[in-house]
Amino acid sequence: MHAARLARTLQARSGAHIFGMGGPRMKDAGVELIADAKDIAVLGITEVIHKVPTVLKILRLLRKEAARRKPALAVLVDSPGTNLPLAKKLHRLGVPVVYFIAPQVWAWRPWRIRAMKKNLSRVLVIFPFEEKFYRDRGVDAKFVGHPLAGLSPPSADRESYAAMHTLDAAKPWVTLMPGSRTKEVRMNLPTILESTAKLGSGYEYLLPLAPTLDRSFLESLIGRHPIRLVSDALPALSCSRAGIIASGTATVEAAMMGTPFVMVYRVSALTYSLGRSRVKVPYFAMPNLIAGKEIVPELVQHDFTAEKVVARLKEILPDGPVRKRMIEGMAEVRTLLRGPISEALHPAERAAEAIVTLMQRSTVEA
């Protein structure tokens, strides 16, 4: 999503032809896809093992195309497991490399900073604390703002939205967001569904269909649970009283909508045991990390039970001090994400400006 907006902006500003790895949104943005991003979509430590041959094949393909086409510049977006090895290959080819949405080395795998310092020309970061973190470690970093920071609640007519999705507008709604990858949905959704059963029929339950997931897959997991699959997360969140949200970008979206929620997450037992000691941050939920304090409750791994989800929801569903504090905390997060920079430009436009400048410089030097 973020790469597609950046690609559109880059093409409009520079007329550049863009090729690489991506998904449907990038294809729609005019990017020539030579590899599909879904082929490397995996979460966890043990889970990544079976993907290694595919990742290596894609890396070879991207390097071969870069050597053949000699691009003026490469832009890598997120996905550090694939992109950092690719950065090394591109650097050896003499291609300047910009990283947009940087690896979260402040959370774990801090040794990656050495490779970033060596192989990257610039890092464009989306969290306000990251610029100083990277600069202090010798990496040229610039904060461009979070791509979701400018989100405002859509002007959705609740009655029309209810009619569109056969929802009872008289009931409060709860949005469910179990993740965007098949593996994490399998780990998170069953307990979320158990939570809705315990919370009861006094609510409507909405599950936005992520573009990376197949509808029939979700329907098979939902079974007879009274869950409504809806087309777009933001109207669902903005119209909902609360949410049950898996750790990830969705937690930022919920905070931008000002929708109180409980953050949940589960990975395999082996991945958790291997990874937990390596994670160097006090929180899992991005709003909590940005604020530097607990804004939303976190239920992770063994704490992620239906009973605990329902107990936390019952604290934030009614009006009261807990709900009020959470809404105020999310407003603080929105302010921090925008940062001390002009709101006239979208972060993708700021990123594009920095990339075009670097691309022009590299072209002149070449």
Cα(262)–Cα(288) distance, integer angstroms: 12
Cα(310)–Cα(242) distance, integer angstroms: 11
The secondary structure element, H or E, covering residue 176 is strand 173-177
Place of tokens 């809404």: 327
- Is the pLDDT confidence value at 64 over 90? yes
Query: Helix (H, G, I), strand (E, B), or coil: what is residue 110?
Result: coil
Tokens of 154: 């859509």
Q: What number of other Cβ atoms are within 10 A of residue 318's Cβ?
A: 10
* Lowest-pLDDT range of 38-52, 133-147, 257-271: 38-52
Are 239 and 173 in contact, with CB atoms under 8 Å apart?
A: yes
State the average pLDDT over residues 152-164.
85
Domains of the chain: 2-149+339-365 (3.40.50.2000), 158-337 (3.40.50.2000)
Cα(285)–Cα(257) distance, integer angstroms: 16
State the average pLDDT over residues 85-102.
95
- CA-closest candidate to residue 198, choices 338, 72, 307: 307
Q: Global pTM?
A: 0.76
State the average pLDDT over residues 32-48.
73
State the average pLDDT over residues 225-239.
93
Tokens of 48: 């990544």
Classify residue 202 by burial, with Cβ atoms within 10 Å: 0-12, 13-18, 19+: exposed
Are 123 and 139 in contact, with CB atoms under 8 Å apart?
A: yes
**163 — alpha (psi -120 to 50), left (phi > 0) or beta?**
alpha
Query: Helix (H, G, I), strand (E, B), or coil: what is residue 125?
Result: strand
Q: What number of other Cβ atoms are within 10 A of residue 296's Cβ?
A: 25
> For 250-278, what is each residue's pLDDT tens digit?
999 999 999 999 999 997 776 666 666 66
Rg (C-alpha) for the chain, rounded Å, is: 21
- Is the pLDDT confidence value at 365 over 70? no
Residue that wins the pLDDT comparison between 365 and 170: 170
- Is the pLDDT confidence value at 341 over 70? no
Per-residue confidence at 359, pLDDT binned at 50, 70, 90?
Answer: confident
Q: What number of other Cβ atoms are within 10 A of residue 337's Cβ?
A: 24
The secondary structure element, H or E, covering residue 227 is strand 227-230
Are 311 and 195 in contact, with CB atoms under 8 Å apart?
A: no
% of the chain residues with pLDDT over 70: 91
Query: Helix (H, G, I), strand (E, B), or coil: what is residue 153?
Result: coil
pLDDT for residue 75 = 96
What sections of 170-305 are H helices per DSSP? 182-199, 215-222, 233-239, 249-257, 269-275, 286-291
- CA-closest candidate to residue 41, choices 32, 50, 33: 50
DSSP E strands, 101-190: 122-125, 141-143, 173-177
Classify residue 133 by burial, with Cβ atoms within 10 Å: 0-12, 13-18, 19+: middle
Please report, in angstroms and rounded to a whole number, the separation of the first and last CA atoms in the chain: 32
Mean pLDDT value across the chain: 89
Name the DSSP letter for residue 303. G
pLDDT for residue 267 = 79
Q: What number of other Cβ atoms are within 10 A of residue 205's Cβ?
A: 24
- Is the pLDDT confidence value at 280 over 80? no
- Is the pLDDT confidence value at 362 over 70? no
